[in-house]
Amino acid sequence: MTILVNDGGFAADDWTGGFVPLADAGRDATSLDLPADTDPLTLAGRLEGVTMIRVDFPGFADGRGFSIARQLRLMGYRGRLRAKGHVLADQYAMARRSGFDEVEIDDALAARQPQEQWIARADWRAGDYQARLRG
């Protein structure tokens, strides 16, 4: 089972549309499952109509997903963006700043890092020194 984490803490997953692996996705896919080695530029011109993208994090030390999220947002993607896998509570603020809306974790990680640890990082804008420098 999986648990969804957002700025309010743990939440039930309300997404019922399923996910299509990128390798199997046609141009009419509305939800995509991206592996960590995806080059976001391969999705140029394919984001119209995509309402949900889930990016895999195969390990907590693998930060490629953060780069994928940032690039997708810079390319104009406005849909729902979810990180899935080995994202730690300490990385939640980075996930939000890079463009993710939520994080999907398994029960084992949720047991090791309870909701309070995620909520403690939910004020992800507070530690954004770049925003403070801009004004």
Supply the CATH number for residue 67's domain. 3.20.20.70
Residue 117 lies in a domain: yes
* Domain ranges, residue 122: 2-126
* Confidence band, pLDDT 50/70/90 cuts, at residue 96: very high
pLDDT in tens, 109-119: 999 999 999 99
List Cα–Cα distances, 51 to 46, 67, 121, in angstroms. Answer: 12, 19, 26
Cβ pair 34, 68 in contact under 8 A: yes
Number of folded domains in the chain? 1
Q: What is the mean pLDDT of residues 33-40?
A: 96
Q: In this predicted structure, what is the pLDDT of residue 1?
A: 74
DSSP-derived 3-state class of residue 52: strand
Residue 134 lies in a domain: no
In 3D space, the residue among 1, 6, 31 whose CA is nearest the CA of residue 18 turns out to be 31
